[in-house]
Structures are given as C-alpha cells and as structure tokens.
Amino acid sequence: MQLEITGHHLEVTDSMNNYVREKAERLKRHFDQVMKIHFILEVEKQRHKAEATFHVNGNHMFADAYADDMYAAIDALTDKLDRQIVKHKEKLKSHHRQEAAQMVAAADSVE
C-alpha cells in the first residue's frame, strides 16, 4: 500500500505523519486490497481539515473531515474511510450462493 501525506498551509510533523500511518494500518486490517491512499492535511482559518483519496481495485473513493483539532479530524476521516471500505467490501462479496439457496427452496416448495 502506498501512502502519501501532504500538508497545505501546514507543516506535517513527524508525530502527525506517524499518527496518519498508524490510522492507515487500521484501514488495511479491514481490506488489504487498498492500493494507494493520499492524505491532505490543511488548516482553513480556525478549522482543521483532513481529506483522503484512496484507490482500490477499480474504484476511487474520497472522504474529508473537519474538526477544531487536527488529530480529531484525522480520527473522523479514518472512521469515514473505514465505513466506506467495509461498504465496498460488502459490495464485492458474491451473492450467488444466497440466490442459489432461494432457488432450491422455491423448487422444493413446488414439488
């Protein structure tokens, strides 16, 4: 997994960098096919914004989060990314077994 972290109007410190990497590992735990994640950390007036674009097989996804503290924004962002990854993973699951079971049940009820 490639991880890119950039800052706009903000210097990304080592502690922020490590924190983002730690949170990205949590995302990898749920879905190991994440190819690339690009985090952008920025400050807009008094609000801190964290946004990320990530690439999985065939899809590009985006999430952003705002908070008064950069670490809180990163936490909220990773929660959003986590939900999106779980939803994407559920879409990829094959549902043919469930459909086959329904067809067998319908055939049994006809007999």
| pTM of the predicted model as reported, rounded to 2 decimal places | 0.78
- Domains: count for the chain: 1
Name the more confident of 79 and 100: 79
**pLDDT at 67 (0 to 100):** 95
**Enclosing domain of residue 82:** 2-109
Q: Would you place residue 56 in the very low, low, confident or very high pLDDT band (cuts 50, 70, 90)?
A: confident
The C-alpha atoms of residue 72 and residue 84 are separated, in whole angstroms, by: 19
Cβ-count burial of 95 within 10 angstroms (0-12 exposed, 13-18 middle, 19+ buried)?
exposed
pLDDT of residue 31: 73
Mean pLDDT of all residues in 27-45:
83
- Cα separation, 42 vs 53, in Å, equals 14
CATH number of the domain enclosing 20:
3.30.160.100
The radius of gyration of the chain from alpha carbons, rounded to an integer in Å, stands at 19
